[in-house]
Amino acid sequence: MIITVASGKGGTGKTTVAVNMALSLENVQLLDCDVEEPNSHILLQPRIHETKPVYTKFPVISEELCDYCGKCSKFCAYNALFVAPKTVMVFPELCHSCGGCALVCPKNAITEKERQIGTIKKGEAKGVELVYGELKVGEAMAVPLIREVKKQIKNNKTVIIDAPPGTACSLVASVHNSDYCILVAEPTPFGLHDLKITVQVLKELGVPMGVIINRAGLGDRKVYEYCKKEKVPLLLEIPFSKQIAELYSRGIPFAVEMPEWKKKFQKILDNI
């Protein structure tokens, strides 16, 4: 079973839920797909046993073969190639590695090279197997790295995916093929607004979902009313508590210090 933890709005507690849930279950693999700002490893403190670079392809033009016909730049949907009368400029950071330019080149002047966009790290802590990606600072594209992280999924385990914030392509890449999505929402106007957009994405993707309300007690009741109206089940409430916030700030998962929460996370899995 693959469960993704998502939120739309940042900082609502995705990583907190993903890590505490992983620590509450048996035979778990946790994948941190927030490759721009991965945080699961901060809470888990894993022993890393494998680090591998992730590459993406980009075109290299042979100036000897190229006759500057411009077909490649005309084909490229991402403006990653610019052909001037006597030179071709390549912008690797805009390239999506579709391979189209090399296909359309009539002179076979284009080959593809690889460049590193990030790293995948694998480790283990407290019985949880962790895989996370780390995008290189200055790199724009997270999706290819997210796909690589997801290639590490082990089918014989319960897989928990910690998704990035937002509702764009990185979220879609993370949640794709999940059996269930847990949405972590804050009971505030910002939380509600971004929850609504995320629910819309998941409905389009056809992924079943439920909501965990974090920092319950803050804000207002509108998130509850919305969930009721949209028939999105409320899975759990985590209260706004200074103790939990304080533990988080020190990088300690609260289910470790407050083990009564482990049962609550186990129950969620039983119910979905």
- Binding residues (CB under 8 A) for another protein: these are 8-12, 15, 34, 36-37, 39, 42-43, 75, 77-78, 96-100, 103-104, 135, 137-143, 147, 164-172, 176, 186, 188-190, 193-194, 197-198, 200-201, 204-205, 218-220, 245-246, 248-251
Q: Compute φ and ψ for 84, nearest 5 degrees.
A: -100, 170
CB of 42 to another protein, least distance (A): 5
Q: Which two tokens stand for residue 1?
A: 């079973």
Measured from the CB of residue 123, what is the shortest distance to another protein in angstroms? 16
Nearer CB in complex with another protein: 205/272: 205
Among candidate residues 132, 89, 83, 140, the one with its CA nearest the CA of residue 115: 140
Nearest distance, CB of residue 118 and another protein, angstroms: 10
Phi-psi region of 177 (alpha: psi -120 to 50; beta: other; left: phi over 0): left
Q: How near is the Cβ of 223 to another protein at its closest, in Å? A: 11
Q: How far is the CB of 260 from another protein (least distance, A)?
A: 23
247 close to 10: Cβ distance less than 8 angstroms: no
**Adjacent-strand bridge partners of 187:** none
Give the strands of the sheet with 110-125, arranged side by side: 47-61, 110-125, 128-135, 28-32, 158-162, 2-6, 180-185, 209-216, 234-239
To another protein, the closest distance from the beta carbon of 15 in angstroms equals 7
Give the integer Cα–Cα distance in Å for 171 and 146: 9
Comparing CB distances to another protein, the nearer of 90 and 141 is 141
The residue (of 119 and 158) whose beta carbon lies closer to another protein is 119
Q: 98 or 234, CB closer to another protein?
A: 98
Q: Residue 251 or 259: which CB sits closer to another protein?
A: 251
Cβ partners under 8 Å of residue 159, min gap 6: 1, 2, 3, 28, 29, 30, 31, 153
Question: Of 68 and 75, which has the nearer Cβ to another protein?
Answer: 75
Q: Which of 15, 29 has the CB closer to another protein?
A: 15
Least gap, CB of 3 to another protein (angstroms)? 19
Q: How many CA atoms lie within 13 A of 86 on its CB side?
A: 0
Minimum CB distance to another protein smaller for 16 or for 29: 16
Whole-angstrom distance, CA of residue 111 vs CA of residue 103: 10
Provide the greatest CA pair distance for the chain.
70
Tokens 């990583």 correspond to 15
What burial letters (b/e) apply to 217-243, b meaning 16+ CB within 10 Å?
eebeeebbebbeeeebeebbbbebeee
